[in-house]
Structure 1
């Protein structure tokens, strides 16, 4: 049937509506906008012909009571008892309903237009077969939970560790660094005066080829000075030419990688020197290890070199001279912040913390030695990675490296002789397989190996911890959802009692 609601309010307009078949009594009040579409629909329920407070047109509004099937719309207001709020009444067109009971004075109006939970509950009341999990609250909650778990799920269900095979004849890289600006690896060479880039897909490109260096020099250590866009490289040469130990810096911003300086490192009192690895601090100072004399050089940002530390701690532990590589002392070095350096010693398996201001050193108390430790890298979370020809160790400390613990280790392929470790994209650990032992053999080196590798190494313990956190978060999310579902059922029950 058609019903025309007539009223005197200027903001209300005549409106015709079809209320449908006869059924339970319901009261519908329409407030019209300029385009004659309903702006507010107020549903009170059978026997409660009233309008909420706050509308300027309520006194002159016309409402209707008709018999129609009960379909609960999404209300903007609901009447609840025990309130002292005003409740204005409006005349009803159907005079037969004048004897219907009026709302109690204790009823109150609760605006719920911004309540997502109440909208979910009323939708469930309109359709008892509706699934609560499809409500806006549940959808938003699960999307938020998925957002939190995405990094953990990505790690837990990741594919095999990333492996890069790259081809460069007779390169034999010993040193590796990660350039976060260009998003590629940098590798040196034992057989040439060059530095190359390696992409994550294994594409090799020449970056620097410095013919001014001695012909038989090798690049044993490299580091990227990110704040200044510099590349620092340790250069060492062996017989038959005279010994040569230097640190060279290149400008990564210039198209031709202009050389900034070449600093000759001063000889030690023993005269047996072997420059090996380099680290750079926040001020641009570079620290270079001397593997033969067990000391550390320091090179200022402008290239001034000096002997920085000859701490007695470096020679306080016995060395087995019959063991392989017993000639190699201080090796990998890294800056760990807080004004400290960490340096490992290959022939003793010890780690030292060195003050970056005065060079004072002390041994870090570890739960085990790190035999044949070669290189050091530091992740953003403070975890220190130490590589040897056999293993990659994961270390952490709670007191700024006065003490430390090896909480995990991963076995490596000793035949391929890993010599360097770097922290790449997404804080992943990578080791370099450069086959350097083969390069030291004249017969093998003559064959000219072409393929080398960079491979990601993961901590099994960290992977297990990630999986545990996933299960914990999923359990908390399920518990919260079940509690929310129970609350929604209670709210729906209470709503049905009020509307019926």
Structure 2
């Protein structure tokens, strides 16, 4: 009887997490922040977010405690922090800076945890036309890779802050814009992540494509997917290799078996369009979060808001698969219990026969 009760309690414990854990929602209260990008800092157990309205960084705890980290007076006051990447090896933060009047694009590096500026690298002189720097990723050697959404170019910035053009591949120009009437029709290369095997994965908003780009020579090719990533924006990767691509409409879950020559969108989760998610990040315990920064409203420049949020998003398909495995484990446990009970009954009967 004791073993039966113990087994029941164990099974209930195993089943409970899939039904009881609530989606994690972090409310951010900060006047006119309009954050477009964010990243998770595992050392401080905080998110770091940048403002679209000013060159400012804030820290956000999982309980929603918000504190100012940095306001960079060396940058134009109307600059935006549009892309953020953490460099864990060199303990620094890389931030894409963009100004609109006059046009200005740069990459700035800050030391962690002091937030002392290490370098400020302008990118505008690398091309004859205006640049629209957007997102950034960093490799294990300290090189940063910055996307240019206006010209479909990827820049490389060394650990010391020297900038060059990594790729202006014709592959980026080979696919038609999905719809010239949508707001993102002129937004090309956007989110970027680095893979330790020596390549980048880069989203392209106005075509819904995903590209694999070599960090050695900038050679690029389209990743063959089972569907387009409509309005693709930020990108991140989980510890298990699942790639996450966020758009205003959905969060896409992707995986590949051949180092991203091909891939599959195996699930997608609808998002709240009016809150305009623009970035995705992986936090503690491999949990996936999107940033609702209302960036479409923030870009207008004449609006005010002080409420934003970071929201956990799960794959419904993965959750169902986890539930199936829980029930399988419960079933196996019950089978073992019934076998044990049958054997014990037989043992008792045999002992009774011997003593009779």
TM-score by length of structure 1 reads 0.67
Residue number in structure 2 paired with 1:423: 282
Matched, 1:286 2:286: no
Gaps of 5+ in 2: none
Counterpart Cα distance in 1 of 2:166 and 2:355: 84
Is the Cα contact below 8 Å between 2:124 and 2:131 reproduced in 1? Answer: no
Residue number in structure 2 paired with 1:249: 109
Instruction: Tell me which protein shows more strand as a share of its residues.
Output: 2
RMSD over aligned CA atoms reads 2.0
CA offset at residue 182 of structure 1? 0.8
Is the Cα contact below 8 Å between 1:266 and 1:306 reproduced in 2? Answer: no
Matched, 1:300 2:172: no
Is the Cα contact below 8 Å between 1:156 and 1:463 reproduced in 2? Answer: no
Residue number in structure 1 paired with 2:339: 483
What are the superposed Cα offsets for residues 178-202 of structure 1, whole Å, 9 maximum, x if unpaired? 1111111111011111100111121
* 1:98-497 matched pairs, under 5 angstroms: 131=1, 133=3, 139=6, 146=11, 150=14, 153-159=16-22, 161-239=23-101, 241=102, 243-254=103-114, 257-265=115-123, 267-319=125-177, 320-443=179-302, 445=303, 448-497=304-353
Counterpart Cα distance in 2 of 1:492 and 1:356: 71
User: Once superposed, which parts of structure 1, at least 4 consecutive aligned residues long, lie more than 6 Å away?
Assistant: none
RCO comparison, higher one (Cα < 8 Å, 6+): 2
Is the Cα contact below 8 Å between 1:336 and 1:378 reproduced in 2? Answer: no
Counterpart Cα distance in 1 of 2:226 and 2:168: 25
> Which SS does the other structure have where 1:465 is aligned?
helix
CA offset at residue 357 of structure 1? 2.1
CA offset at residue 464 of structure 1? 1.0
Is the Cα contact below 8 Å between 2:190 and 2:203 reproduced in 1? Answer: yes
Counterpart Cα distance in 2 of 1:467 and 1:499: 48
Counterpart Cα distance in 2 of 1:442 and 1:277: 21
Counterpart Cα distance in 2 of 1:463 and 1:489: 39
Is the Cα contact below 8 Å between 1:220 and 1:235 reproduced in 2? Answer: yes
> Which SS does the other structure have where 1:415 is aligned?
helix
TM-score by length of structure 2 reads 0.93
How many equivalent pairs are there? 355
CA offset at residue 228 of structure 1? 2.1
Is the Cα contact below 8 Å between 1:387 and 1:418 reproduced in 2? Answer: yes
Structure with max Cα Rg:
1
Counterpart Cα distance in 2 of 1:316 and 1:366: 16
Gaps of 5+ in 1: 1-130
